[in-house]
Amino acid sequence: MPSGIHSAVKRDVPPVISSDAQAARDVDAVAKPAATQPVLPVPDDTPGSTARWWVGVGVAGVFSLPFAWLLSFAAALPFFIGLFFFMLFGLLIGAAAYRVAAPRRPYPSLQLVIGTTLLVALVWGVSIVKESRDFPGDVADRAVRRTRNLGDQSVAQFRGEIADDLRRFLAERYPPGGVSGYVRWVLTSGELKRGDLTSLNRGISVPAAQTRIWWAIRVVLSIALLGLGIGSQTLTMSRSREPGARMTGNAAASRM
């Protein structure tokens, strides 16, 4: 056969692989697993023990007391400006509960709703108690600023007399006075007319935020915003933590 044809035939014939070499290649293929994507664990949304949640509620309740005291002043700001602070402080209080309770989530939704409601009631309750207790003194301060002649009384004596007179007025007209008397007075009257206070021979105006319909609107909005702020942090703990964020580092390392 000519040498040219012989060389062409040799190029077209595939190389012969021995059975031993083929077996070795098969063993290598089996021993070396193919690169696969890491499988992320499925989050477990089964609610567990609620002990850590109630610890978080307790911590947030203690943390909320200074904010509740401040909200008693913010509530009376004109043009409902103080409502902003109900939302802001609610976010901070909810964040405190979340910080403590989040590591053991998820929690039953009902328990989260109950705990959040208790926090809202605590903060708003302390705020309204402080507001009602300060009300006689606030009215007395307004009377002092609008009275030119105090006679032979000092400012402190005049102020104290008006504050005591207002407390007596609430206790007699809206028994038993105190917080409930203050709330009943706001919702049914919201005015201090001439003759209501025996220590004054005239009526005295009160801020619009403490008069009937405006007070009711302010209360509804303040509770709603406070609940929104706290609940936006606490109610998310009905779901477990997504594993994707925690597994990112491990997934990246497995690909290397």
Distance between CA atoms of residues 145 and 165, nearest Å: 17
**Contacts from 174-178 at CB under 8 Å and sequence distance 24+?**
178/132
Measure the CA angle with vertex 228, ends 222 and 231; round to 5°. Answer: 135
> How many structural domains are present in the chain?
1
Residue where the block lists tokens 């964040």? 95
Structural domain range at position 139: 51-239
Out of 19-33, 131-145, 170-184, least confident range: 19-33
Indicate the SS3 state at residue 192.
strand
Asked if residue 172 belongs to a domain, the reply is yes
Over residues 60-88, the mean pLDDT reads 92
CA 88 to chain centre: 8
> Burial code of 58-71, b = ≥16 C-beta within 10 A, e = fewer?
eebbebbeebbeeb
Task: Give yes or no for residue 233 having a pLDDT over 60.
Answer: yes
Asked if residue 244 belongs to a domain, the reply is no
Asked if residue 38 belongs to a domain, the reply is no
DSSP-assigned letter for residue 146: T
Asked if residue 165 belongs to a domain, the reply is yes
Asked if residue 245 belongs to a domain, the reply is no
The pair of three-digit structure tokens given for residue 113, joined into one six-digit string:
């709703």
Over residues 230-250, the mean pLDDT reads 72
Question: Residue 20: pLDDT band by 50, 70, 90 thresholds?
Answer: low
Asked if residue 212 belongs to a domain, the reply is yes
Asked if residue 57 belongs to a domain, the reply is yes
**Full-model pTM:** 0.74
Distance between CA atoms of residues 56 and 118, nearest Å: 12
What amino acid is encoded at 76 in this protein? Answer: A
Cis amide linkage into residue 47, ω under 30° from 0: no
| pLDDT at site 152 | 83
pLDDT in tens, 180-195: 999 999 999 888 988 8
Distance between CA atoms of residues 55 and 3, nearest Å: 93
Asked if residue 246 belongs to a domain, the reply is no
